[in-house]
Amino acid sequence: LLERSVSVAGSIANYGIQQGWGVGVYANGSVPNADQTIRVQPGRSPEQLAHVLEALAAVTEFATASIEKMMLRTSPSLPWASTIVLVTAVVTEEMMVALVRLKEAGRRVVLISLADEPPPKGLGNILSYHIPANVPAFQEKGSMASSITEAALSSIPTPENSLRMVNG
């Protein structure tokens, strides 16, 4: 599931860069051989995609903090126009509460669930996508997985063209 999350997050970053958006990534895994969380500030430079992909490649299964606490703690420092995209293989009640709190605070948030089952009800008007584990996240054009992934990518709300991802 970790590889799938990293792959989808990397694809979102690539899509955002292609659209000219500022893209960054936060992950609740640690930097290798350190206790620091993985963090790449958003940017639009030609090197930004490489920085994001390098950071995602370093993500491990060992979390340094809960992703919901990380989202709530870091959101005040994000540009107001940022869209927070949570890519996760496990959707918890705590994550849902954090997403709702961020939305209520005026943030743009998107949930991309890679779990076997769709996320539980209770997200209100938060944009969410479910790409089930039994469906490849990426396939040839015209396949169900391709259309789910494309729909998720093309509908990320970015009125000011800024995108932040968190990988839980």
Instruction: Give the residues across from 124 on adjacent strands.
Output: none
DSSP letter, residue 119 = P
What tokens appear for 137 in the block? 């996240």
Q: Which pLDDT belongs to residue 19?
A: 86
> What CA–CA distance (Å, rounded) separates 34 from 62?
12
The domain total for the chain is 1
pLDDT in tens, the chain (168 residues): 788 888 889 988 988 898 888 899 998 877 777 777 889 989 988 899 999 999 999 888 878 789 999 999 999 988 888 899 999 988 999 999 999 999 999 999 999 999 888 887 777 888 888 888 776 655 555 555 455 666 666 666 654 444 555 555
Domain region containing 155:
2-167
Q: Which pLDDT belongs to residue 162?
A: 47
CATH of the domain at 135: 3.40.50
Q: Which pLDDT belongs to residue 118?
A: 85
142 contacts: CB under 8 Å, gap ≥ 6: none
